[in-house]
Structures are given as C-alpha cells and as structure tokens.
C-alpha cells in the first residue's frame, strides 16, 4: 500500500483542474477548473477556450490588441471557471467548491457567486493584477465566499499539484 499512497480530495480535484487546463489552446495562459459537491462528487470541469463553433484556427480570436475589442482575445475566450459552471452536470451548485488553477477574475467571480458556489480554492494568483484581484476579492468577501490558496489549505496537495503541472507542461512527442 505504501507504494500506492492515496491522494487526498484537494489533490484530486485540483489535479482534475490541471488536467483540464492541458486541453486549452490558449498559448498565453492555460487554465482549468473543477467543481466538486459537498459530498466529493465532481459536477463540472472546464478550461479556457473559444465558444463552441468558433474556429480555433482563426487568428482573429487570439489577437492581442486590447484597445480594440474586435481584435482582443478577451472578447472571445470563455474562462475555465465559467466553462466549468456551464458544463456542470447537476444543479444547483449551492454549497459546492470550485478548484481553479488561477485566482478568478471579476467576471468569473460574478458567475461563481450567482450559481451558489460556496468556496474557491485556487493554485496561483497573478499578484501584478492588483485592480482585478481587488475587484474579485471585494465581491467574494461581500458574498461570504470562502477563498483559499491551495498551499494554505493543504501544503502536500499544493506540492503534488506543482509537480503535476510541471509534468503537464513538459513537451511531448
């Protein structure tokens, strides 16, 4: 048994979020999210990508001109958290936890709150995004959502997930 240790729930759910992120075609940042119910069932998984039917090979969708909404990827990409909510297999999500590879942006926070998710566990946070992070934190606090970095919740799970993300990032044949 020692050679096959059980991973804990936090590792499993964040691990699923990381695996989902490996499906993302976004070259700038690949994110994943996994929603788990209070009784440890996975109810939704998502990664950041274009809406269904939008051609991944159309470069207009991946443009970086943030001054022009028609030529900015921010107008087109559905974030991992929102995709996980939209892909969820059961409703309501009241009391569930969303595991997300990135601290959620304000738009995702709006959806997280409105759908009844009670807890956010994130792997990393872009500290330079001061304004966006502050807006997210303000709404999450007012809505009384518990927010935890995985490494403050479960140090071994965070270490295991860092190892897994290194493995996923490794170039493959």
Q: How far is CA 145 from CA 25, 33, 53, 92, in A?
A: 30, 17, 34, 16
Contact 122, 157 (CB under 8 A): no
Rounded least distance, CB 8 to Zn ion, Å: 26
Instruction: Please list every residue from 2 through 21 that binds Zn ion, using CB under 5 A.
Output: none
Stretch that binds Zn ion, among 34-42, 75-83, 88-96, 146-154 (CB under 5 A): 75-83
Q: Which of 79, 97, 99, 117 binds Zn ion (CB under 5 A)?
A: 79
Q: Is 152 a catalytic residue?
A: no
Stretch that binds Zn ion, among 18-26, 56-64, 88-96, 101-109 (CB under 5 A): 101-109
Strands (E), the chain: 32-36, 42-47, 97-102, 119-124, 146-149
Stretch that binds Zn ion, among 15-23, 56-64, 105-113, 165-173 (CB under 5 A): 105-113
Does 105 sit near Zn ion (CB under 5 A)?
yes
Strand order across the 32-36 sheet:
42-47, 32-36, 97-102, 119-124, 146-149
Cα gap 104→117, rounded to integer Å? 13
Nearest CB to Zn ion, comparing residues 15 and 104: 104
The residues annotated with a catalytic role in the active site are 81
Where do contacts with Zn ion occur on this chain (CB under 5 A)?
A: 79, 105, 108
């Amino acid at each position: 048994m020692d050679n096959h240790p059980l991973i804990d729930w936090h590792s499993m759910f964040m691990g699923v979020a990381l695996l989902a992120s490996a499906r993302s075609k976004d070259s700038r940042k690949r994110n994943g999210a996994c929603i788990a119910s209070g009784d440890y069932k996975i109810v939704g998984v998502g990664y950041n990508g274009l809406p269904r039917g939008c051609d991944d090979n159309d470069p207009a969708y991946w443009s970086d001109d943030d001054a022009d909404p028609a030529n900015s990827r921010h107008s087109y990409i559905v974030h991992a958290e929102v995709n996980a909510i939209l892909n969820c297999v059961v409703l309501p999500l009241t009391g569930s936890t969303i595991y997300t590879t990135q601290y959620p942006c304000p738009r995702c926070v709006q959806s997280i709150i409105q759908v009844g998710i009670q807890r956010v566990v994130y792997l990393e946070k872009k500290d330079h995004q001061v304004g966006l992070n502050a807006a997210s934190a303000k709404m999450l606090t007012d809505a009384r959502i518990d927010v935890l970095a995985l490494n403050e919740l479960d140090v071994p799970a965070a270490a295991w997930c860092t190892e897994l993300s290194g493995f996923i990032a490794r170039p493959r044949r």
